[in-house]
Structure 1
Amino acid sequence: MKPDSRLLEKLVVARYRLYQAKASVGVGDRQSSAKGAGMEFASHRPYREGDDVRNLDPRLMARLGEPFVREYFVDRQLPVYVILDGSASMQQGKPGKFEAAAMLAQVLGFVALASGDQVRIGVTGNAVVDWSPRLQGQSRADMLFDWVGGRRIGGQTSFSTALRQARGVLTQAALVILISDFMDEGVERELKLLTEGRHDMIAIHMASPQEIDPSALGGGPVTLRDAESGEAIEMSLNPTIVARYREVFSRWQSTLRDTMTRAQGRYFFLSSSADLEQFISRDLRGRNVFA
């Protein structure tokens, strides 16, 4: 399933805001620190043999008696990585977490393409992260949608293990968007290590309505099974157990939020039943993820 065309039309002019990452790849529309054949003047430097004489500044040469060339800022693209949790736990709940997360990944990837940046989607869950080709240009939107739509999930590899692998791919500062249920005890450590790369980090914590409020499952005896390990726990749902669960869940949210905040990243929480357009306009745009 592809994103609603009306939503995409509203996002055609959206552009990710940066705090740490820099435009560093390809040729694009973002000013970078690189210098070369650009449009905006950066500085002068002494002439070196082999320089293009068309860049000589005759007025500076007349004033100083030595040749200097003009340098210009080179416009680059921002590398954007969207890492989507495809492990077995993302199959749980109604509406399905992975379906909602995949739709969000497509929309966020589209924002990068439409604004002239370079995007790559990674789906985790299997032994290695499944990476899309590097895509750029709004004309590649359907290719991105089809690629995400063709992924199959349910692997047993934890999200923390996948993030450890992904660090080897994220060799330059980038915008990194993580979409996961974060049901992995090792993920906090990997988040901390990932933030050392001076990336702009966004974590979107996806949960099903049943995970947010387990009382929706009813009362009495229930069997809870870990989707990835297969381990089952027999328990009785009662108000005390539900209250304790909510406390633990809230504490885990706070831990993830604090981890991201310390790294100048941003944390968002999203129910798989939430309205996607409202989340994008109210939460993401409201907190300046993009303009």
Structure 2
Amino acid sequence: MAWDGVSVEVLGRLERYRFQPKKTHAAAIRGERLSPRKGISIEFADYRHYTPGDDLRHLDWNILARLDRAYLRTYQDEQELPVHLLLDCSASMAFGEPTKFDAARSLAACLGYIGLIAGDAVYPTALHHQHAETRPLRGRVAYTRLLEWLRTRQPDGRHLAAAVQRFAHANLPSGLALLLTDGLDEAFPDALRALGSRRHEVVLLHILSEVELDPDLEGDLKLVDAETGEAIDITATGGVLQEYQRRLKAHIEAIQTACRRIGGTYLQVRNDRAPQDVLVRELYAQGVLSV
């Protein structure tokens, strides 16, 4: 069944929310978000002593007349927040009901909507084996373009970690990196560390299906790797399933540790969970969103 986007009712529930980054990120142009960085804007911030070469237009003449001391008025700089929507397009995302990929697209649509209505710059990026130029979307009217972009993506790639590494080293402004992925790549934790080293503020939505978390399998089976096509024959005994659980737990813990060490936010998401519940209950509680 084709992905049908997000309902108007869900978007209406998200109108009041905004992203709440933990740190200031440089932006390409002025936007609607106030930054602690001092600059020239309409919002007064503080006074400082005049030094030769300063712009006399910002000299406070009243203080100069009363105290015979030269002070300049400084202002808060208005900036847009770069919001990077990183959509895992590896073939493993096609698994589940609904698929992990459709769950990721619904979350990306909601997150992108919040950024666009807040005046942030939303950069949608597909993580797959092909490099594609990322162009920012701005304003509520760009939401239809975001939906079309999401509808035309397909889970047919591989090498998630390499795609994250390429993004980390791309010539893009640092900002809020919202990573929607199943993380099924052994090198993924290392790629997360590269992402953090580029000053991105990472929010990882780790999307997994119930079958992956707790497989109910028995008997002789052939397992096929969705990305490489390689097959392996197994007998699903209790011991085999225990070893699978052990390895999955170790991989998830490695991802959580890497995310924590770069100051990121980690959230495990089931593929069948309503996207608005993830945002309103989980991301709001963790401080990623505010009202």
TM over 0.5: yes
Structure 2 residue corresponding to 1:142, chosen from 141, 144, 156: 144
Q: Which amino acid aligns with 2:149?
A: W
Equivalent runs, 1:63-142 vs 2, <5 Å: 63=66, 65=68, 68-128=71-131, 130-142=132-144
Percent identical among aligned pairs is 26
- Shift in Å at residue 50 of structure 1? 8.7
Q: Deviations over 1:120-167 (max 9, x none)?
A: 110121321x355211222221121111112233023x1111111101
Aligned with 2:9: secondary structure? helix
Structure 2 regions of 5+ residues with no counterpart? none
**What CA distance in whole angstroms lies between the structure 1 residues aligned with 2:19 and 2:194?**
23
Report if the CA contact (8 A) 1:83-1:179 is conserved: yes
Q: Distance in 2 between matches of 1:14 and 1:242?
A: 42
Structure 1 residue 209, shift from structure 2 partner: 2.4
Partner of 2:10 in structure 1?
7
State the superposition RMSD in angstroms. Answer: 2.1
Q: Partners in 1 of 2:279 and 2:40 — Cα distance?
A: 37
CA-CA distance at 1:258 after TM superposition:
1.4
Count of residue pairs brought into register by the alignment: 286
- Residue identity opposite 1:147 in structure 2: W
The TM-score, its normalising length taken from structure 2, stands at 0.90
Partner SS, residue 214 of structure 1: coil
Q: What is the alpha-carbon distance in structure 2 between the residues aligned to residue 45 and residue 252 of structure 1?
A: 54
User: Cα offset for 1:10?
Assistant: 1.2
- Structure 1 counterpart of 2:45, which letter? F
Once the two structures are overlaid, the 10-residue window that deviates more, 259-268 or 26-35, is 26-35
Counterpart AA for 1:281: V
Q: Equivalent residues in 2 for 1:224-235 (5 A)?
A: 224-235=223-234
What is residue 161 of structure 2 aligned with on the other side?
Answer: 160
Q: Alpha carbons of 1:260 and 1:165: their partners in 2 closer, same or farther (altered >3 Å)?
A: same
Shift, 1:37, TM fit: 2.9
Amino acid at match of 1:152: Q
Per the TM alignment, residue 195 of structure 1 is displaced from its structure 2 partner at its CA by: 1.0
Does the 8 Å CA contact 2:86/2:179 hold for their aligned counterparts? yes
Offset of 1:197 from its aligned partner?
2.6
Distance change >3 Å, CA 226–CA 21, structure 1 → 2: farther
The 1:172–1:134 alpha-carbon spacing in structure 2 relative to 1, beyond 3 Å, is closer
CA distance in 1, matches of 2:199, 2:262: 8
Q: 2:43 aligns with which of 39, 44, 48?
A: 39
Q: Which residue of 2 aligns with 1:219?
A: 218
Cα distance in structure 2, aligned partners of 1:131 and 1:6? 32
Contact 1:175 1:199 in 2 (8 A): yes
Partner Cα distance (1:233, 1:91) in 2: 20
Q: Could you tell me how far apart the structure 1 residues matched to 2:47 and 2:115 are?
A: 30
Contact 1:21 1:198 in 2 (8 A): no
Which amino acid in structure 1 is aligned with residue 209 of structure 2? S
Confirm whether residue 255 of structure 1 aligns to residue 254 of structure 2.
yes
> Is the Cα–Cα contact under 8 Å of residues 86 and 178 in structure 2 kept in the other structure?
yes
Q: Partners in 1 of 2:45 and 2:260 — Cα distance?
A: 36
Deviations 1:173-209 (A, max 9, x none): 3111111111111111111121123322111111122
Displacement, 1:223?
1.0
> In structure 2, what residue type is equivalent to 1:16?
F
Contact 2:165–2:191 (CA<8 Å) still a contact in 1? yes
Residues of 2 paired with 1:112 and 1:31: CA distance?
15
- Aligned partner (choices 23, 27, 44) of residue 24 of structure 1: 27
Query: What runs of 5+ residues in structure 1 fail to find an aligned partner?
Result: none
Moved more, 203-212 or 32-41: 32-41
Change (3 A) 1:252 1:13: same
Q: Confirm or deny: 8 A CA contact 2:38 2:45 kept in the other structure.
A: no
Q: Which residue of the partner structure matches residue 51 of structure 1?
A: 55
Which whole-Å CA distance do the structure 2 matches of 1:50 and 1:281 have between them?
46
Provide the C-alpha distance between the structure 1 equivalents of 2:102 and 2:133, rounded to a whole number of angstroms.
18
- Conserved in 1, the CA contact under 8 Å of 2:41 and 2:78? no
Give the letter aligned to residue 121 of structure 1: P
